[in-house]
Amino acid sequence: MTKKILFYALGLNLISSFLGALVYKYLCDANIIFCGDIVNANHLKIFFPTVISGSIFIVIAYFSSKWTKLPILFFLIPVILATIFNISGEESPNINTIIVALVVGILPVLIAISGAWLIEKAR
Protein backbone atom coordinates (compact mmCIF):
# COMPACT_ATOMS: atom_id res chain seq x y z
CA MET A 1 0.00 0.00 0.00
CA THR A 2 1.28 3.41 -0.93
CA LYS A 3 0.63 6.79 0.62
CA LYS A 4 -1.66 7.58 -2.30
CA ILE A 5 -4.27 5.20 -0.93
CA LEU A 6 -4.32 7.18 2.32
CA PHE A 7 -4.90 10.45 0.48
CA TYR A 8 -7.54 8.90 -1.77
CA ALA A 9 -9.33 7.52 1.28
CA LEU A 10 -9.25 10.87 3.10
CA GLY A 11 -10.61 12.69 0.04
CA LEU A 12 -13.32 10.11 -0.51
CA ASN A 13 -14.16 10.27 3.20
CA LEU A 14 -14.87 13.97 2.82
CA ILE A 15 -17.26 13.33 -0.07
CA SER A 16 -18.97 10.26 1.37
CA SER A 17 -19.39 11.90 4.80
CA PHE A 18 -21.12 14.85 3.15
CA LEU A 19 -23.43 12.47 1.29
CA GLY A 20 -24.11 10.62 4.56
CA ALA A 21 -24.98 13.91 6.25
CA LEU A 22 -27.37 14.74 3.41
CA VAL A 23 -29.07 11.34 3.76
CA TYR A 24 -29.30 11.90 7.52
CA LYS A 25 -30.86 15.34 6.94
CA TYR A 26 -33.36 13.80 4.55
CA LEU A 27 -34.28 11.04 7.01
CA CYS A 28 -34.78 13.64 9.75
CA ASP A 29 -36.79 16.03 7.58
CA ALA A 30 -39.00 13.22 6.30
CA ASN A 31 -39.61 12.01 9.89
CA ILE A 32 -38.36 8.56 9.00
CA ILE A 33 -36.13 8.55 12.06
CA PHE A 34 -36.42 10.54 15.27
CA CYS A 35 -33.69 13.18 15.39
CA GLY A 36 -34.43 14.90 18.66
CA ASP A 37 -36.68 17.63 19.94
CA ILE A 38 -34.67 20.57 18.65
CA VAL A 39 -36.88 22.66 16.40
CA ASN A 40 -35.28 23.94 13.17
CA ALA A 41 -32.01 22.19 13.97
CA ASN A 42 -29.35 22.06 11.30
CA HIS A 43 -28.87 18.34 10.80
CA LEU A 44 -25.87 18.94 8.53
CA LYS A 45 -23.83 19.76 11.64
CA ILE A 46 -23.22 16.03 11.92
CA PHE A 47 -20.90 16.35 8.89
CA PHE A 48 -17.93 17.81 10.79
CA PRO A 49 -17.64 15.18 13.54
CA THR A 50 -18.16 12.48 10.93
CA VAL A 51 -15.33 13.76 8.74
CA ILE A 52 -12.97 14.21 11.67
CA SER A 53 -13.65 10.82 13.23
CA GLY A 54 -13.62 9.02 9.88
CA SER A 55 -10.31 10.63 8.97
CA ILE A 56 -8.79 9.60 12.28
CA PHE A 57 -10.05 6.03 11.83
CA ILE A 58 -8.61 5.87 8.31
CA VAL A 59 -5.22 7.17 9.41
CA ILE A 60 -5.09 4.69 12.30
CA ALA A 61 -6.03 1.85 9.96
CA TYR A 62 -3.48 2.87 7.34
CA PHE A 63 -0.56 3.02 9.73
CA SER A 64 -1.56 -0.13 11.59
CA SER A 65 -1.91 -2.07 8.33
CA LYS A 66 1.48 -0.76 7.17
CA TRP A 67 3.07 -1.62 10.52
CA THR A 68 1.67 -5.15 10.71
CA LYS A 69 1.82 -5.72 6.93
CA LEU A 70 -1.79 -6.93 6.96
CA PRO A 71 -3.78 -5.00 4.33
CA ILE A 72 -7.06 -6.43 5.63
CA LEU A 73 -6.69 -4.21 8.69
CA PHE A 74 -7.15 -1.22 6.41
CA PHE A 75 -10.74 -2.41 5.91
CA LEU A 76 -11.52 -3.82 9.34
CA ILE A 77 -10.23 -1.16 11.72
CA PRO A 78 -12.22 1.84 10.38
CA VAL A 79 -15.47 -0.11 10.25
CA ILE A 80 -15.03 -1.50 13.76
CA LEU A 81 -14.04 1.89 15.19
CA ALA A 82 -16.93 3.64 13.41
CA THR A 83 -19.35 1.08 14.79
CA ILE A 84 -18.05 1.44 18.33
CA PHE A 85 -17.91 5.22 18.09
CA ASN A 86 -21.46 5.60 16.77
CA ILE A 87 -23.26 3.04 18.91
CA SER A 88 -21.41 3.57 22.19
CA GLY A 89 -23.28 5.45 24.86
CA GLU A 90 -26.53 3.66 24.14
CA GLU A 91 -27.60 1.16 26.75
CA SER A 92 -29.76 -0.69 24.29
CA PRO A 93 -29.38 0.46 20.68
CA ASN A 94 -32.71 0.91 18.93
CA ILE A 95 -33.44 1.05 15.22
CA ASN A 96 -32.81 4.82 15.07
CA THR A 97 -29.37 4.44 16.57
CA ILE A 98 -28.49 1.64 14.18
CA ILE A 99 -29.73 3.58 11.12
CA VAL A 100 -27.81 6.69 12.15
CA ALA A 101 -24.67 4.65 12.82
CA LEU A 102 -24.98 3.00 9.45
CA VAL A 103 -25.77 6.12 7.40
CA VAL A 104 -23.51 8.59 9.17
CA GLY A 105 -20.61 6.52 10.48
CA ILE A 106 -20.08 3.15 8.93
CA LEU A 107 -21.05 3.55 5.27
CA PRO A 108 -19.05 6.73 4.57
CA VAL A 109 -15.89 5.18 5.98
CA LEU A 110 -16.49 1.90 4.17
CA ILE A 111 -17.13 3.72 0.88
CA ALA A 112 -14.00 5.81 1.35
CA ILE A 113 -11.64 2.92 2.05
CA SER A 114 -13.15 0.67 -0.61
CA GLY A 115 -13.05 3.44 -3.20
CA ALA A 116 -9.46 4.29 -2.35
CA TRP A 117 -8.49 0.63 -2.61
CA LEU A 118 -10.19 0.31 -6.01
CA ILE A 119 -8.60 3.51 -7.34
CA GLU A 120 -5.18 2.34 -6.19
CA LYS A 121 -5.63 -1.08 -7.80
CA ALA A 122 -6.86 0.47 -11.07
CA ARG A 123 -3.66 2.54 -11.44
Helix %, strand %, coil % for the chain, to 5?
A: 80, 0, 20
- pLDDT band for position 40 (cuts 50, 70, 90): low
Q: Where are the domains of the chain?
A: 3-122
Start-to-end C-alpha separation, the chain: 12
- Global pTM reads 0.85
CA distances (Å), origin 35, targets 4, 19, 53: 37, 17, 20
- The pLDDT of residue 50 is above 60: yes
- The pLDDT of residue 38 is above 60: no
